[in-house]
Homo-oligomer: A and B are copies of this chain.
Amino acid sequence: MPPKPSDLAFVPFVSVENMMKLVHRIGIEPMLEGIAAYIEEDFRRWDLFDKTPRIASHSREGVIELMPTSDGEVYGFKYVNGHPKNTAEGLQTVTAFGLLATVDTGYPVLLSEMTVLTALRTAATSAMVARHLAPKGARTMAMIGNGAQSEFQALAMRVICGIDRLRLYDIDRAATDKVMRNLAGYGFTLEPCATPEEAIEGAQIITTCTADKQFATILTENMIGTGVHINAIGGDCPGKTELHPGILSRADVFVEYPPQTRVEGEIQQMPADFPVIEMWQVITGAAPGRTGPDRITLFDGVGFAIEDFSALRYVRDQLDETGLYQNLDMIADPDDPRDLFGMVARAGG
Contact = CB atoms under 8 A, between A and B. Distances in A.
Interface of A: 2, 4-5, 8-9, 13, 15-17, 19-21, 23-24, 28, 50, 52, 55, 57, 59, 61-64, 66, 68, 70, 72, 75, 77, 79, 81-83, 86-87, 89-93, 95, 97, 99, 101, 103-108, 113, 115-116, 119, 146-152, 175, 178, 181-182, 328-334, 336-345, 347-348
Contacts of A63: 106
B344 A28 contact: yes
Contacts of A329: 15-17, 113
A96 to B, nearest CB: 9
A115 to B, nearest CB: 4
Contacts of A66: 55, 66, 68, 77
Contact of A57 (B70, B149, B341): B70
Given A66-B55, A178-B338, A332-B115, A91 B79 contact: no
Contact of A337 (B81, B148, B336, B344): B148
Nearest to A28: B344
A270 to B, nearest CB: 27
A106 B81 contact: yes
A157 to B, nearest CB: 14
Which 7 A-B residue pairs are closest in the complex by CB-CB distance? A81-B106, A20-B347, A151-B341, A115-B332, A15-B329, A24-B348, A148-B340
A15 B151 contact: no
A294 to B, nearest CB: 34
A338 B175 contact: yes
B5 A347 contact: no
Select the residue from A50, A181, A331 with max chain B CB neighbours within 10 A.
A331
Contacts of A104: 59, 61, 83
A175 to B, nearest CB: 6
Given A5-B16, A55-B55, A57-B75, A345 B105 contact: no
A282 B8 CA distance: 42
A72 B97 contact: no
Nearest to A119: B340
A106 B90 contact: no
A341 B83 contact: no
Nearest to A348: B24
Contacts of A20: 2, 343-344, 347-348
A107 B91 CA distance: 9
